[in-house]
Structure 1
């Protein structure tokens, strides 16, 4: 359960709920980020400061954003922008978001602004959905490794616990790939949760994945949606990196899939699955169902990643479930966005010529160049990375540099890197079940990427760094291992054979 052990007894100033929240353990990355804030790298003022390739921010296109912000249409002082806003989001802004997502997510049908709620970041969307979809103590199913911040967002308000679906780097056959999600793994995790009397209410999917950078193929996405429908689970689809895809690969948004439709079938049939659609019998009548289920599928997107505006704090929820949206809108009053911010972002979304001919193509080109630069630098020092096509980061294999195949050794390596003034993110922060994987963000300046490689080389190849070259017999279960939840014991033994590294770039 995110937030750490048992909550402290309430003090005189706190309710039991307040004590639970106050007693939560900060996320693993919070300490490293605090060190960076106190000592950030600056070429002129602090050249020996910490280089941060741990925070997933896109810093590559501020020059384009700055130029666009300087145009006259951005400078608007209309009185209504300074009055209490519609807590669901200004109508004009929601209309523009609906048009934008209809086009850029290649939606199967035109999105309605009535189904959109705007909040101050996707963290707020996660928090409100956790509150209205679940009761305290319920579980949510999520493939691991995953963005660790989700746990606190689902726990602080909703009191939910994660039910991990452990993904392994092991390759078992010609068709499989490292850290591959399958419906069989979802089923196994759900059954483990049931045995532990955890009521799972939600499946959370991040596409493109954070931290893997993986993109779900359309068929897998449909299989996951069918699994959720069969078990009556809500699906929260986080597509915040939807347009941060830099290879020539097709990205399938959940919005692009056909909505659920029902049609009566002449004869009675039993429940079975075919490619698409599949059939279900209800009260002796068969219906044809096409996914996703609009009553249980909830889409999230925001401006933080694709527009490089993590500080602007604007997230978007699209749901066609009226009851859920009514409940969310009640909470949205605590998470609304300022009117002037909505106006500015509206101008960005309206300017399709700038988006299509300047911003998005330049952003894609710069992302690919930065990724190549970091991957090439890591190759030079013997660090392979998982193949990926989306997101702002690479998932890198540092296992041979661990003193032992344990999470204690992973955190020891992480601390040594911090001592060398380099902040990257250890796999434990993403609830990875194998020690030795790290996430490195490449969407930053060439100078910082070079400094990262330089400091990595200096630390990893120092005389006192003795890489592990033999197979580890097991991954230790220790106080530093990922939290044990319904996914069971954390550990898959890393293997050194070639099949282990299929689809990983090995240099």
Structure 2
């Protein structure tokens, strides 16, 4: 057999993680309200589908934004031909303006520093290539997105060193934790080139406060290492405290701006992961120059640039979208967390993101990651929900799970909650049978709250609830 590359034969992509295994379980048996009522419900996908009707209305009212319409076809040839990898000026200007609006207009972004990439995945790899050589390291606070192991390391050879954060202080990033990770890297003979923070956090759904951000900037300045701020969830903050960007902090504190870089995209804030709009915004001229050259390997299509430029240049639409998105996320978050709390499931207090950090520690047979995996297999194979175990996010404490709540319609969410309720009843019956509430009362409680929280924009034309075997078993 002819030999192929180490990348091709290696395991650097990280697909052996339970995070990806959960996706495979869903893809093998996906839930459908009619065809597969017993299928796996996808709750491992951080996708924002709550404002699609709002966006659809704009698209229908602006047919000129599409090149495949009578109103837009006159731009077809111009856009279909070669485009400079700097990106269309109107696209960069619109994205820069949107980034400023998402941050409350408290900071402005220079369109000439906007470098496009194929989604945040490509943007992170681009930054890694620009900042570090193979064998050098980035510090990353835990828990963190499993895809970072792929995005930052697989093809670049960069090492990731966890900054261990703990539930005892709600997983906040502390100076002590940063110093400990930095020293651990040095002991392993790793040269630390940067620190990557995700703000708002995936998977925690929390934001970093000003004091923490200032402390982080002070740390990277003292160590003379780069700071990468992943801010792809900036517009998903749905209640106070408000989001604070690293770009605001460097306006207030003394800082070597050559060390500051932001990764952004429209995948989460706008709900457009399929458009593959990733952005690198660096305050370092050399990084901007290098990243722009690298962007030729992962450009955003000209057709997408054209549509996005039109949409984000509509100030009235953008202003209303930001408000609408926050309202829908808040409503869904409140309903989801309240429903879980009524069956005894808690979660980390959060105000952002498309997910919650669910606390199932009390369901573990023992406080080990093996026990966490046993519980996860039950949830996947018996409850038929794809949720992601904390160990796949490098969480240092077993029993936490990330659950996404914005990637489904209201009826699918109801089925998921009923499955969780049934599972918790069985668990409680086994543990404390005399203290159980009547199932009927819980069912009525869920029904009463439905009218208060359900969004008319997310109602499926085919309600899955009557077809669900779990519902039949309850009635």
With normalisation by structure 1, the TM-score equals 0.79
Separation in 2, partners of 1:23, 1:445? 31
Q: What is residue 227 of structure 2 aligned with on the other side?
A: 235
Matched with 1:410 is 372
Would you say 1:395 and 2:357 are equivalent positions? yes
Structure 1 consecutive aligned stretches of length 4 or more whose deviation exceeds 3 Å: 16-27, 106-110, 463-468
In structure 2, the CA distance between the partners of 1:425 and 1:80, relative to structure 1 (3 Å rule), is same
Distance 1:243 1:61 in 2: 13
Query: Does 2:272 correspond to 1:315?
Result: no
Q: Partners in 2 of 1:467 and 1:216 — Cα distance?
A: 38
Residue 452 of structure 1: aligned partner? 416
Shift of the 306–404 alpha-carbon distance from structure 1 to 2, 3 Å rule, reads: same
Paired residues, what number? 422
1:97 matched to which residue of 2?
95
2:301 match:
338
CA contact (8 A) 1:89 1:119 kept: no
How far apart, in 2, do the equivalents of 1:116 and 1:350 lie? 16
74, 78, 81: which one pairs with 2:65?
A: 74
Structure 1 residue 189: deviation in Å?
A: 1.1
1:108 positional shift: 6.0
1:200 to 192, 195, 203: 192
> In structure 2, what is the equivalent of residue 65 of structure 1?
55
Is this contact kept in 2: 1:95–1:113, CA < 8 A? yes
Task: Deviation per CA, 1:51-107: give whole Å up to 9, x if none.
Answer: 111110011111111111122232333122111222232122111212222333256
RMSD: 2.0
SS of equivalent residue, structure 2 residue 162: strand
Q: Distance in 2 between matches of 1:127 and 1:24?
A: 15
TM-score when scaled to structure 2? 0.84
Deviations 1:307-331 (A, max 9, x none): 1112211111111212112221222
Q: Any idea what the Cα deviations from partners look like across 1:117-146, whole Å, max 9, x if unmatched? A: 011100001111111211111111011001
Give 5+ residue unaligned stretches, structure 1. Answer: 1-10, 171-176, 260-275, 278-289, 469-507
Within a 5 Å distance, the mapping from 1:129-278 to structure 2 comes to: 129-170=127-168, 177-259=169-251, 277=253
- Residue matched to 1:281: none
Cα contact 1:107–1:256 (8 A) shared by 2 = no
* Partner of residue 268, structure 2: 305
Q: Could you tell which deviates more after superposition, 106-115 or 224-233? A: 106-115
Q: Which position in structure 2 is the counterpart of 1:46?
A: 36
Q: Is the 8 A contact 2:143 2:393 kept in 1?
A: yes
**Conservation of the 8 A alpha-carbon contact between 1:399 and 1:435:** yes
SS at match of 1:341: helix
Could you say which structure has the higher helix fraction? 2
Distance 1:132 1:18, change over 3 A: farther
SS at match of 1:316: strand
1:4 alignment partner in structure 2: none
Q: CA deviation at 1:12?
A: 2.6
**CA distance in 1 between partners of 2:242 and 2:14 (Å):** 40
Note if contact 1:106-1:256 (Cα within 8 Å) is conserved in structure 2: no
